[in-house]
Chain A
Amino acid sequence: MTNKDFLSSMAAQTGMKKAEVQRLVQFLTATLAENMEDGDTTAIQGFGTFEMKKKLERIVVNPSTGQRQLVPPRQAISFKASATLKEKTL
């Protein structure tokens, strides 16, 4: 399901225009990101949890050149599907 399919499906379900849906999706994404930025976890019942995980800085070595690089710390998004979703989809 591509973004196009997704949008049309959403539009049909909510009775909104695609453009409106697209706009709201953007807002939703922004809201989620905002929550994550603060380190908060967003849990959606029946779907799963979006969690913010802090990754420490680390040194990586390029195996071919032997060059070492220091990767700075970062925040990464992890998603854990809920049991309901698993049951539904798998």
Chain B
Amino acid sequence: MSRRIYQPELATKLAERGNISKRKSESFVRAFFDTIATGLSQDKLVKVKGFGTFKVVSVSPRESVNVNTGERITLEGHDKISFTPDPVLKELANKPFAQFQTMTLTDDVTEEELMKVAKRVEEELAQLDALMPNKDCPPAEEDRQETDIQNQAQPEGREDETVTEIESVPTATKDTSDEKPETVQKGESQETALTEADVPTTTPLAATSKTEGEELPMEKPEVTSADEAIPETGLQNEASTTIESETEDITYDDMPKKANPWKIAALILGAIALFLLGYEAGRRHIFEPTEQTAGVNDTAVATANDTTTKDTLRADTLQVQSKALPEEPATEAGTTTTPAAQTSQATALPTPQEENPAAVLPAHPKGNIDVKGLMGTHTLTKGESVASIARKYYGSTEYAPYIIRYNELKNPNVVHVGTKLKLPKLAVRN
């Protein structure tokens, strides 16, 4: 430990080092300090390169209090000798601690917190060790992750400059953490083995279980509503499961501790996004025709409105009739009272007619429309939908249900190009 070295010893050491005679060394050492002393008394300042600066500093008088009596006394000003070591000497003397660097602390760390966290980490590690034999990996891991995230600013993080980064935390946790990762990895390798075994055999199950049910309720409507979208979603499921299993394996292998919750979350989000994308795409495809018609719908309504003004009187009477006979079967409807225009239309039907039916049929059917046999057929072309056909032949998209019912379409949202639609002959019931 610390001992005192006197001038002779210093001289001896210097003689060895400088390869000079001991006598010379002794005289040199004496001369060295003598010169400094004389220099100080002369100039009040001595600078020696590589050693430091000796300076005479004056201390101004100051007031103080006598501790025993409580009296105010004045301490007289005096001079003192100060020594400021040269940076070179400082560095040499500080060699044992040279590897340390000043580092910035994060704001929310107090000394007590540091101690607390240290304790808690130890406890958790103990718990973890206790749990390890039972292979209770995932919950323990989750716990640890939570606590780690909470205690991002760790006391031991002092040595680690990136305290806020989660990944740096485990390295900075504790001495015992050296044991912990090994055990955790063991458990995880077991788990990965399990998942690997599960995934190929029970793909659909894995898909449902892993996507956390969020996909399921959304998936079902899609399946029912859009037949075309089914294979897509099926593919997606498979893809997502494969991706998931792969990424899970990767995460477990490479970053066994920290990346899991984030990766899984990102994975789930990605799966949902993919799913929504597919769903949206499917829907777009299905509703493409109707959207087109919706744009033109206003004009149709406008033309229909003109006709309705003409037929207001008739419509009124018809409504009264329909109220009187609310549930009259379509077959029993009077065939005699078909308007003249309607009949003429029926004869010329296979070619599309827009003016005549609109003139006859009201813009908004109110349950008083009868089906009177076949008017003609229409072969669907690209961009057409049931609604657009209804508007074309009957003047309003609101007549689409008649076409749907007449053709017994199971899914009117999906009609294929080339499908022959039978067009019912519609007439206002008298």
Residues of chain A at the chain B interface (Cβ within 8 Å): 1-3, 5-6, 9-10, 13-14, 16, 22-49, 52, 57, 59, 66-79, 81, 85-86, 88-90
A69 touches B102 (CB 8 A): yes
Contacts A/B (CB < 8 Å), 27 sampled: A1-B39, A5-B39, A6-B35, A10-B35, A26-B50, A27-B17, A29-B89, A30-B92, A32-B10, A34-B13, A34-B92, A35-B5, A40-B3, A43-B6, A44-B10, A47-B33, A68-B104, A70-B105, A72-B97, A74-B97, A74-B100, A76-B90, A77-B93, A79-B82, A81-B81, A85-B81, A89-B40
Closest 7 CB pairs of A and B: A72-B100, A79-B83, A33-B92, A1-B39, A81-B81, A3-B49, A89-B41
Tell me the number of A-to-B contacts counted with CB atoms below 8 Å: 178
Whether B216 sits at the interface, judged by CB under 8 Å, is no
Which residues of the partner chain A approach B27 to less than 8 Å between Cβ atoms? Answer: 14
CA distance A29 to B101 in the complex (A): 25
Known A-B contacts A32-B10, A40-B4; the reply to A24 vs B97 at CB < 8 A is no
Rounded to whole angstroms, the CA-CA distance of A1 and B44 in the bound complex is: 8
A33-B89, A36-B93, A70-B104 are known; give 15 further A-B pairs, CB within 8 A: A5-B39, A6-B39, A25-B49, A29-B50, A29-B51, A29-B89, A30-B17, A32-B51, A39-B1, A46-B33, A69-B102, A77-B93, A79-B82, A85-B40, A90-B78
A39 touches B2 (CB 8 A): yes
A41 pairs with B5, CB closer than 8 A:
yes
Q: Across the interface, do B90 and A77 meet the contact criterion of CB distance under 8 Å?
A: yes
Contacts of A33 in B (CB 8 A): 89, 92-93
Contacts of B46 in A (CB 8 A): 1, 6
C-alpha spacing A28/B5, complex, angstroms: 13
Check if A10 sits within 8 Å of B31, measured CB to CB.
Answer: yes
A52 with B93, Cβ < 8 A, contacts A3-B48, A23-B18, A25-B49 known: yes
